[in-house]
Amino acid sequence: MSTSAIVMLVVSIIIIWGGLATAVLHLLRHPEEPESHDPE
């Protein structure tokens, strides 16, 4: 693999896993409250 391919691989991995980690941290800090459905 060339150097540019390795750099692009590392950048894409950081973007994907960084976005996943950011989403998980956001959900942990601000959990979604379940909507209450009244059976009527």
C-alpha–C-alpha distance, residues 4 and 10, integer Å: 10
pLDDT cut 90: percent of the chain above it: 70
- For the whole model, what pTM was predicted? 0.59
Average pLDDT over residues 6-10: 97
C-alpha–C-alpha distance, residues 39 and 4, integer Å: 58
Encode 1-40: b = buried (16+ Cβ within 10 Å), e = exposed: eeeeeeeeeeeeeeeeeeeeeeeeeeeeeeeeeeeeeeee
Number of domains forming the structure of the chain? 1
Lookup: tokens for 15: 């973007």
Q: Residue 20 domain-assigned?
A: yes
Residue 33: per-residue pLDDT = 78
Q: Residue 40 domain-assigned?
A: no
Print the domain residue range for 15: 1-30
Q: Residue 39 domain-assigned?
A: no
Residue 34: per-residue pLDDT = 74
